[in-house]
Amino acid sequence: MASPFKTTQTTLYVTIRVDPSNIEPFLAALRPCWEAVCREPECLYFDISHSPSEPGTFHFVEVWAMDKKTFLEHQLKKPYYEPYEAATRPMWLTERKLEFLARVDGWSYVDSAYLAGSVQT
């Protein structure tokens, strides 16, 4: 049966847990990678959140103008991920969790106030 979802966009949820004492070093190592990812023309959205109830738990939400297969075969192999992973992997308390989702057309909303204070790359 064909999927009723027409978009070729892929949404990726990533969960990473680090020791709370490593929050600042983790974010410092993440910044150059995050900036490089945000400059990719296929990166439509990249938001990073931190759990106040679980210090050291980060959630990334990424939206890409490509399918999962393309993301895994091409995007994840970009060289700017290597220094980030080398620096942060020892900080991870558990293996990171990746969850790929398909956005449902016609069910997205973003208020302009949401991006207030965001970094433009």
Q: Where are the domains of the chain?
A: 10-104
Q: What is the average per-residue pLDDT within 98-109?
A: 88
In angstroms, rounded to a whole number, what is the distance separating the alpha carbons of residues 98 and 58?
A: 12
pLDDT at 15 over 60: yes
Name residue 13's beta-bridge partners: 61, 99
Q: Taking the C-alpha atoms of 32, 18, 64 and 42 in order, what is their torsion angle to the nearest 10 degrees?
A: 10
Level-2 CATH architecture, domain 10-104:
2-Layer Sandwich (3.30)
Average pLDDT of the segment spanning 60-74: 94
The whole-number average pLDDT for the span 55-76 is: 95
Measured CA to CA, the distance from residue 62 to residue 9 in angstroms comes to: 10
Residues 62 and 9: beta-carbon distance below 8 Å? no
List the single range of 39-48, 84-93, 108-117 with lowest mean pLDDT: 108-117
Residues near 120 by beta carbon (within 8 Å), at least 6 away in sequence: none
66 — pLDDT class (breaks 50, 70, 90): very high
- What is this structure's pTM? 0.86
What is the per-residue pLDDT for 1?
A: 47
